[in-house]
Amino acid sequence: MKKYNTALLGATGAVGQEFLKLIEERDFPFDNLKLLASKRSAGTKITVKGKEYVVEEATEDSFKDVKIALFAGGSASKTFAEPAVKAGAVVIDNSSTFRMDPEVPLVVPEVNPEAIAKHKGIIANPNCSTIIMVMALKPLHDVKKIKRVVVSTYQAVSGGGKEAMAELEQQVDDIVNGRPVKAEILPGASLAKHYQIAFNLIPQIDVFKENLYTKEEMKMIDETRKIMSAPDMRITATTVRVPVYRSHAESVNVEFEGEVTEEAAKKAFAAFPGLVVNDNPDEMEYPMPLFTSGKDDVEVGRIRKDYSVDHGLNFWLCGDQIRKGAALNALQIAEYMIKNDLLK
């Protein structure tokens, strides 16, 4: 496989660190590797494939001779995407900045790889919860057209960053040892109010929109329609933060235009790349965050008929939102481009 000069923006963050793990695990074919971050993190030393790299402060001039620019997410995408493209790089961006731009492909490689070739310098990585859900919706939609989706998510605190993970750990320790509990991060560090997440659930992820859905919920609705080229698909979502470190879970109800049996759904799921069926009620076996954390595949289980409608199914998903929901999906896009010679 041909090798290309590659840059990673946000190398010291949680998603950036996951990128680096996966680059080693998958033996990603880079030639030269440039690690970029904020001024605060510049100078950090990181070893990749046995070679030590020094993290550089990201500037508009950082992308000279770079062909693949992996952006780990955040506001830096607004600043550096355009300069990277002008320098000749293809940007694969994990932030929400470009996802709904009609000129930017929004891609899950197993679902809509054909969109990759339509890029004009930037390819957007979808929201983590969206990625996990469409991995299961796509094979079902290919069996029988989906009319309506109802999804409730159970999202790990790592989706709120390293600070949210640290706060959950501190809160549990404080409760166990009888100390007062402080809440300063969730549902969002920039929001006016914060709640304890330890031994609690918070039914808000991101800010509320005028329609009373959160921004996270609307991302799932709008992004799913774009990825699946189904602008009229009816979707409703409720997103909830739960006291789990890593790996999101989702309860999904799907209504079809015609009959889809449980057996047909299981067969379609099992044949779909990146999706694993873990569905054995007799043995109490089903997907759980505890066992999907650190894994590449999305697991699906609790597959059963919805008897409240004519053609409906319920199922349960779990997937590591830092891997398949972020870094892995972006890296798979880059691998697809290399394999199919789309980086000329």
- For residue 253, being part of any structural domain is answered with yes
What are residue 214's DSSP bridge partners? 208
User: What is the reported pLDDT for 279?
Assistant: 98
Residue 24 lies in a domain: yes
Q: Are 82 and 71 in contact (CB under 8 A)?
A: no
What residue numbers bound the domain in which 335 lies? 4-126+326-339
Residue 269: its pLDDT value, please? 98
60 with 183, same domain: the answer is no
CATH code: domain of residue 75 = 3.40.50.720
Q: Judge if 283 and 144 occupy the same domain.
A: yes
Instruction: Return all residues near 293 (Cβ < 8 A) that are at least 6 apart.
Output: 245, 246, 247, 320
Decide if 270 is inside a domain. Answer: yes
CA dist., res. 58 & res. 38, Å (int): 6
Query: Is 52 in the same domain as 142?
Result: no
80 and 171 housed in the same domain: no
Task: Say if 93 falls within a structural domain.
Answer: yes
Note whether 136 and 298 are within 8 A (CB): yes
Question: 137 and 251 share a domain?
Answer: yes
141 shares its domain with 261: yes
Task: Say which residues have a Cβ less than 8 Å from residue 264's Cβ, sequence separation at least 6.
Answer: 143
For position 148, which CATH number holds? 3.30.360.10
**pLDDT of amino acid 312:** 98
85 forms bridges with which residues in the sheet? none
| Tokens standing for residue 239 | 């997103």
Q: In this structure, is residue 30 part of a structural domain?
A: yes
Specify if 28 maps to a domain: yes
Query: Taking a C-beta distance cutoff of 8 angstroms, is the pair 62, 37 a contact?
Result: no
Q: 26 vs 5, 21, 89, 94, 257, CA distance in Å?
A: 17, 9, 22, 19, 40
Give catalytic status of residue 248 as yes or no. Answer: yes
Per-residue confidence in pLDDT tens, the chain, 344 aa:
799 999 999 999 999 999 999 999 999 999 999 999 999 999 999 999 999 999 999 999 999 999 999 999 889 999 999 999 999 999 999 999 999 999 999 999 999 999 999 999 999 999 999 999 999 999 999 999 999 999 999 999 999 988 999 999 999 999 999 999 999 999 998 899 999 999 999 999 999 999 999 999 999 999 999 999 999 999 999 999 999 999 999 999 999 999 999 999 999 999 999 999 999 999 999 999 999 999 999 999 999 999 999 999 999 999 999 999 999 999 999 999 999 999 97
In a domain, 344, yes or no: no
Q: What local confidence, expressed as pLDDT, does residue 67 receive?
A: 98
Q: What pLDDT was estimated at residue 280? A: 97
Q: Let me know whether 102 and 12 are in one domain.
A: yes
Task: List the one residue out of 22, 11, 70 whose CA is nearest residue 46.
Answer: 11
Looking at the fold, whether 135 and 257 belong to one and the same domain comes out as yes
Residue 220 lies in a domain: yes
Q: Which of 128, 141, 194, 318 is catalytic?
A: 128
Structural domain tally of the chain? 3
CA distance 277 to 257: 24
For residues 73 and 192, membership in a common domain is answered with: no
Query: Residue 100's CB: how many other CB atoms inside 10 A?
Result: 15
Same-domain status, 144 and 265: yes
Options 119, 141, 248, 318, the catalytic residue? 248
pTM value? 0.96
If DSSP states are collapsed to H, E and C, what string results for the chain? CCCEEEEEECCCCHHHHHHHHHHHHCCCCEEEEEEEECCCCCCCEEEECCEEEECEECCCCCCCCCCEEEECCCCHHHHHHHHHHHCCCEEEECCCCCCCCCCCCECCCCCCHHHHHHCCCEEECCCHHHHHHHHHHHHHHHHCCEEEEEEEEEECHHHHCHHHHHHHHHHHHHHHCCCCCCCCCCCCCCCCCCCCCCCCCECCCCCECCCCCEHHHHHHHHHHHHHCCCCCCEEEEEEEECCCCCCEEEEEEEEECCCCCHHHHHHHHHHCCCEEECCEHHHCECCCHHHHCCCCCEEEEEEEECCCCCCEEEEEEEECCCHHHHHHHHHHHHHHHHHCCCCC
Residue 191 and residue 216 in one domain: no
**What pLDDT does residue 161 have?**
87
Strand arrangement, sheet containing 122-124: 56-57, 30-37, 4-9, 68-71, 90-93, 122-124
Q: Tell me, yes or no, whether 90 and 217 share the same domain.
A: no
